[in-house]
């Protein structure tokens, strides 16, 4: 009888511990939820031209026009690192590779920001794909020919294509090379629920006036 009582007490104790652990994990994840996200999209042809260290990367060798550099959580925390696994199910890994072709870069990204996302790696990269697929990109950014465009013109194209997006929700980054200013990336700002929002004062554009969009050839 005593043995049965002890087993019952052990089961009850394990149930309590399990419940407390579940509550701790839930509250921990909730506490880590970011105030928003910034999607960083790279202009691959320009990056491959300007950064010779990336020439042999898959995105350069296979002629990508755009790639996702990262989805960065907005948080007051100074350390977002995580040691949790960045391994994705095979099917999901293939989908993610369409916009983030470098697996090593994906792992480094997760290790750097995963601690501030409030999710696991699979959920995080699912969010990346959802944002990337929903955002409509003007054709001028994915063409074969190199073109010049004004900042306001490109903003207007994005706003017309994406409902809810405003000029305050998008930022452009440029870099000068041999007297030509190239668009190298764009940042799109999101609220925690995935809606577009005004970018914070920490996310700024450095492109002014007219710049060049490097074609894929």
Q: How confident is the model at residue 62 (pLDDT cuts 50, 70, 90)?
A: confident
pLDDT of residue 59: 74
Q: How confident is the model at residue 185 (pLDDT cuts 50, 70, 90)?
A: very high
User: How far are the Cα atoms of 10, 17, 39, 125 from residue 3, in angstroms, in the given order?
Assistant: 11, 21, 58, 49
Domain 34-213 belongs to what architecture?
Answer: Alpha-Beta Complex (3.90)
To which residue do tokens 């697996």 refer?
Answer: 103
Q: Return the higher-pLDDT residue of 17 and 207.
A: 207
Among left, alpha and beta (phi > 0; psi -120 to 50; other), residue 100 is beta
The answer, yes or no, to whether residue 187 has pLDDT greater than 70, is yes
Strand pairing partners for 71?
39
Where in the chain are the domains?
1-31, 34-213
Nearest Cα to 135, choosing from 181, 49, 51, 194?
194
pLDDT of residue 24: 37
Q: How confident is the model at residue 30 (pLDDT cuts 50, 70, 90)?
A: very low
Q: How confident is the model at residue 52 (pLDDT cuts 50, 70, 90)?
A: confident
Give the mean pLDDT of the chain: 85
């Amino acid at each position: 009888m005593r043995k049965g009582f002890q087993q019952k007490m052990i089961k009850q104790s394990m149930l309590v511990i399990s419940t407390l652990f579940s509550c701790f994990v839930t509250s921990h994840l909730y506490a880590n939820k970011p105030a928003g996200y910034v999607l960083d999209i790279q202009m691959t042809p320009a990056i491959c031209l300007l950064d010779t260290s990336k020439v042999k990367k898959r995105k350069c060798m296979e002629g990508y026009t755009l790639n996702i550099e990262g989805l960065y959580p907005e948080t007051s925390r100074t350390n977002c690192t995580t040691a949790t696994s960045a391994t994705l199910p095979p099917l999901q890994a293939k989908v993610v590779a369409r916009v983030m072709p470098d697996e090593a870069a994906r792992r480094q990204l997760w290790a750097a920001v995963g601690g501030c996302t409030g999710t696991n790696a699979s959920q995080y990269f699912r969010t990346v794909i959802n944002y990337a697929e929903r955002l409509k990109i003007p054709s001028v950014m994915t063409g074969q020919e190199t073109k010049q465009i004004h900042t306001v013109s490109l903003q207007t194209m994005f706003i017309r294509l994406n409902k809810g997006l405003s000029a305050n929700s998008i930022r452009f980054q440029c870099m000068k090379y041999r007297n030509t200013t190239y668009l190298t990336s764009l940042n799109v700002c999101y609220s925690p629920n995935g809606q577009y929002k005004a970018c914070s004062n920490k996310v700024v554009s450095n492109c002014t006036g007219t710049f060049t969009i490097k074609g894929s050839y």
